[in-house]
Structure 1
């Protein structure tokens, strides 16, 4: 299979028309059209249904498009690993995660690699779940570290760590000196909740438990990051919920954090990879080390 023609075919599919693909590829339309036709002849199949000048991807084309993306991703990984080996490097891995994971987990992995002189470069992109999953699907990220729960056939999810959910109260709150609090005791408070961009998240669990107890919480703020919420809670603006990891965050002085005793809600940290991609050696190593570190964290 001609890789260049495969790239042209994928470009036509993704840009929708020959003309748009030609502009993106910086070539003229006639040679691109000829390349697509030649590609079909080499394969012995039609990839598009043609009606006049319009082209619509058929089921055979859809199969080639999906498998072709996997093939191109694999060839890019092979090329990258060969270049890194030639340059004396061990490789690199690209991670998508939240800010808290970048402040707690990633530093431990970097420390592990540094201590053992393992030359793996870690590229981190912070973002919400929807962004990270989209980047994984398009092979822009090797790994995602997320708390959201979801079930997708093209993604493989592994639970890494289970943490108890804590409640953040203003320092002047009457219950701030307690070690625990129930959800019923918070029904008249102003809630700060995490916006779920994909799947089932922390806020979904909290809202479900509120409804089960017969009240609708007064949510005055929705956000994608927990740290800004904790800062506002500290200023007395309302209450928030966070995993235990925030109580162990170095260099951050949080508001009073109490255990939520009724109901007890646990939140899981998940590692997500694409089922349709070839894992690099560096990615495999990162996953192995991360699992070891989080297993150790879970036992302490």
Structure 2
């Protein structure tokens, strides 16, 4: 499930420049989003998969690493990367769709007090906000969910993926306004 919150900066800039346009943000699993793109119901999409189809273009925006999402005020040292092996007394929350994390935990013999597996990243974030545990999430998601209640920390272990791509149909004519918005999104997410 692709759950990415674009910063208000790119949406706000688009709306200020294009007062007569509306924006519709669509969320869903990758198959749903790509189907909408192929049916020309979307101008472009953000996915975690690189599509090599002849009729589609995918541009790598970010290679992604995982990070740790914690409730503000947690006693972890925020000045250095966190070693997951030191967190065995913690409750780990993660989205079960992150299959790389499952195998990573097993391969590195990492154990936690409890493991709470959830279906969506949003649920993981809500549990962290309630103080029910720590979450290992792809950095792109963790940094987008950071607010006054939670913060994202780097982890010492190298746990990569999923990468983020901007995808669109090659044959679809895009207006200059849409191309400009795509470029803004691309620039923002490559930062």
For normalisation by structure 1, the TM-score amounts to 0.51
- Among 133, 145, 161, which residue is 2:46 paired with? 145
In the alignment of these two chains, the number of paired residues is 185
- 1:228-248 per-residue CA deviation (whole Å, 9 max, x = no partner) reads 322212323222123256446
Q: Are residues 1:271 and 2:166 paired?
A: yes
From the superposition, tell whether residues 286 and 255 of structure 1 become closer, same or farther in structure 2 (CA, over 3 Å): closer
Aligned position for 2:34:
133
Q: CA RMSD in A?
A: 3.2
Write the deviation string for residues 142-183 of structure 1: whole angstroms up to 9, x where unpaired.
21113x23545254221123454320235575x524433123
- Specify the alignment match of 1:210 in structure 2: 105
- Counterpart CA distance in 2 for 1:261 and 1:159 is 24
Report how far residue 261 of structure 1 moved: 1.4
- How big is each residue's C-alpha offset from its partner over 1:90-113, in whole Å with a ceiling of 9 and x where there is no partner? xxxxxxx63523xx1xx3233323
8 Å CA contact 1:230, 1:240 repeated in 2: yes
Cα shift at 1:125: 1.5
Instruction: Say if 1:165 and 1:241, in contact at 8 Å, map to a contact too.
Output: yes
Residue in structure 2 matched with residue 222 of structure 1 by the alignment = 118
- Give the whole-Å Cα distance in 2 for the aligned partners of 1:111 and 1:285: 13
In 2 relative to 1, CA 110–230 (structure 1 residues): closer, same or farther, beyond 3 Å?
Answer: closer
Query: Is the CA contact (8 Å cut-off) linking 1:193 and 1:221 kept in structure 2?
Result: yes
Separation in 2, partners of 1:290, 1:99: 12
On the 8 A contact 1:98/1:145 being kept in 2, the answer is no
> Alignment partner of 1:111: what SS?
helix
Alignment of 1:1-300 (within 5 A): 98-101=3-6, 104=7, 107-117=8-18, 119-146=20-47, 148-153=48-53, 155-170=56-71, 175-179=75-79, 180-187=81-88, 189-196=90-97, 203-215=98-110, 219-224=115-120, 226-242=121-137, 243=139, 246-247=142-143, 252-263=147-158, 265=160, 267-275=162-170, 277-281=171-175, 282-295=177-190, 298=191
Q: Which runs of 5 or more residues in structure 1 are unaligned?
A: 1-96, 197-202
Q: Identify unmatched segments of 5+ residues in structure 2.
A: none
Q: Which one has the bigger helix percentage? A: 1
- Greater displacement, 136-145 / 259-268: 259-268
**Which structure has the bigger radius of gyration?**
1
Deviation, structure 1 residue 272: 1.6
Residues 239, 184 of structure 1: alpha-carbon distance in 2 compared, 3 angstrom cutoff: same
- The higher relative CO (CA closer than 8 Å, separation ≥ 6) is in 2
Cα 1:189–1:157 shift into 2, 3 Å: farther
User: CA 1:166–1:215 in 2, change beyond 3 Å: closer, same or farther?
Assistant: closer
Where 1:124 maps in the other structure, the secondary structure is coil
